[in-house]
Structure 1
Amino acid sequence: MEEKELVRSCLQGNKKSLEKLVTSIQGMVFNLAIRFLWNRMDAEDATQEILIKVITNLSKYDGRSKLNTWVYRVATNYLINRKQSILERELTSFDAFAQGLNTYSAPMAYDEPDKDILDKELKTGCTLAMLQCLNRDLRIAFILGSVLKIKSNVAANIVLTTPENFRKRLEKSRNLIGEFLAGHCGVYNSSNKCRCHKRINTAIKCGQINRNKLNFADKVEKYNEEMEEIDSLTGIYHNHGTFGTDVDLIAQLNELIQTKRIIND
């Protein structure tokens, strides 16, 4: 079923079409949200809110852009205007983040059986936390342009700016992240002292990692081991793969999907 037909069917109250629509977009929305917000629970809540906004505003989709582009526009608008998170209030600058990386409150050696997965957890969490040091416009530009590899003319349409302005935001965000990685990250630049495995104990002690409830590593549907490019900005972020969630968003939205009221508001 083509996008316009699917949307038309949803607007006519076809519940199966609405489920098909939600199923097709929930993964992309969640992966955008978790990269933007860092915290899994926040990303799951945001994903549900965004899906509701998509459903309730479906009649406004005019078909002039691809459906995914329109969904990304709804999602980015929600995320950029969302209430500031605790992590955003803590990571006020790259200098503040660097200070945290240079602080060890526990021994560096960690040799437990879960060392490898915790190393991935910390690496993923750390590189995504760096994005919180960017202002929201730069952060969304970096995620769309560098992580999701969306072309600048399409990304500009998503964030409602010009392609030239989007490219400027993307360049600035890449420069800021690249400078920080080059100066501090041992994965990106081997001359730097910071290594994820050396920070596992500290992260556990500080509550940054919960061994029994990981934020990233145990929910990655496709961890790109082959893309471990230690000298590549793109490789660092593409190495994360695709994030999955155990939350049944279709079930949570079932009450809304059962009534045509949600698409007529």
Structure 2
Amino acid sequence: MQPDILDIVKLAQSGNQEALSDVVGHVQDQVYRLAMRMLVNPDDAGEATQEILILVVTKLSTFEGRSQFFTWVYKVAVNYLLSAKRSLERNRGLNFDVFQADLEDGLLVDPAPAADDLVLLNELRIACTSALLLCLPAEQRMAYILGDVFELEHNEAAEALGISRENYRKRLSRARKQVVSFTGKVCGLANSTAKCSCPKRLSKAKELGRVNEEHLAYAVDDAPAYKTVQRDVEKLVDDLKVLKLQRATAHYQCPQKLVKRVEAALYG
């Protein structure tokens, strides 16, 4: 029988280094996934994940078991990500109008993507649905990710954000309305009459270096295939289409090179 995470945490709090490594291994993928969805850029997400994991270890003695351990980890991660100004400042000036104009610039009228473009179409799909969240204020973005993407219970998400349940619900509602409105208006996967679609956008995205077949950042691991998502979305009503698109990403795994950097920082 596998030991409970709380038992491992207690061992780690007593100074057991193996247990400490187990704690990091237990949370690293979810921390990286949260950082990826919040910051989008893999380099930013990797840097943030390293700092968050170090914080989890250094603050571990303050965990008293009054909440679920993952809720406590989310709170540490949220506090860091909402104050990671170096990463957040890169997105200054981005809003839904600017993003729409960018997406609709240079669209092909009648594209005919090659069969081997399906992976790049998937890369573009995930990059776009992830990047549109950068148009939200950071606090609303985090509320949306925790609530609609990670599907946390409202009480857990509110605790992670350090706000009341009612304030969390308001923040989530505001974010959701904007994401649903934009996606339904602009995204060809959610709305077949929208101006932009991944096949129309792919050529321009390649030209701008937004997608690169030699370096896939998003269409990795267990990310649902483009055709699968396209088929599934067609069956859904509008609000569910947006949720499907936002959730249809990889369950990002923390890169091993990042794990080694964290271990080196913690243990020398």
Q: Is the TM value for this pair above 0.5? A: yes
Q: Which residue number corresponds to residue 116 of structure 1?
A: 118
RMSD in angstroms over aligned alpha carbons? 2.1
For 1:101 and 1:255, the matched residues in 2 are separated by 41
Give 1:251's aligned amino acid. Answer: K
Q: CA 1:107 to 1:246, structure 2 compared with 1: closer, same or farther past 3 Å?
A: farther
- Where in structure 2 are there 5+ consecutive unaligned residues? none
Q: Which residue number corresponds to residue 263 of structure 1?
A: none
Q: Which residue number corresponds to residue 229 of structure 1?
A: 233
Q: Deviations over 1:195-248 (max 9, x none)?
A: 11211110111121122111100x233427368324322111122241234433
Q: Which residue number corresponds to residue 9 of structure 2?
A: 7
For 2:108 and 2:243, the matched residues in 1 are separated by 31
- Describe how 1:243-254 pairs up with structure 2 within 5 A: 243-254=252-263
Q: Which residue number corresponds to residue 238 of structure 1?
A: 247
Q: CA 1:205 to 1:163, structure 2 compared with 1: closer, same or farther past 3 Å?
A: same
Greater mean deviation of Cα atoms: 53-62 or 102-111: 102-111
Q: Deviations over 1:19-43 (max 9, x none)?
A: 1111110010011000000111111
Q: Which residue number corresponds to residue 67 of structure 1?
A: 69
- Where in structure 1 are there 5+ consecutive unaligned residues? 260-265
Query: How many correspondences in the alignment?
Result: 257
Query: Partner of 1:191: helix, strand, or coil?
Result: coil
Compute the displacement of 1:249 (Å).
Answer: 3.4
Query: Partner of 2:249: helix, strand, or coil?
Result: coil
The sequence identity of aligned pairs, in percent, is 34
TM-score for both structures, normalised by structure 2: 0.89
For 1:125 and 1:44, the matched residues in 2 are separated by 17
Compute the displacement of 1:88 (Å).
Answer: 0.9
Q: Deviations over 1:56-114 (max 9, x none)?
A: 111111110011000000001100000143651252x1000011011017786364453
Query: Partner of 2:233: helix, strand, or coil?
Result: coil
Q: CA 1:87 to 1:215, structure 2 compared with 1: closer, same or farther past 3 Å?
A: farther
- Describe how 1:173-192 pairs up with structure 2 within 5 A: 173-192=175-194
For 2:6 and 2:118, the matched residues in 1 are separated by 45
Query: Partner of 1:17: helix, strand, or coil?
Result: helix
TM-score for both structures, normalised by structure 1: 0.90
Give 1:88's aligned amino acid. Answer: N
- Describe how 1:1-265 pairs up with structure 2 within 5 A: 1-85=3-87, 87-91=90-94, 93-104=95-106, 109=111, 111-217=113-219, 219-223=220-224, 225=228, 228-230=232-234, 231=238, 232-258=241-267
For 1:243 and 1:26, the matched residues in 2 are separated by 10
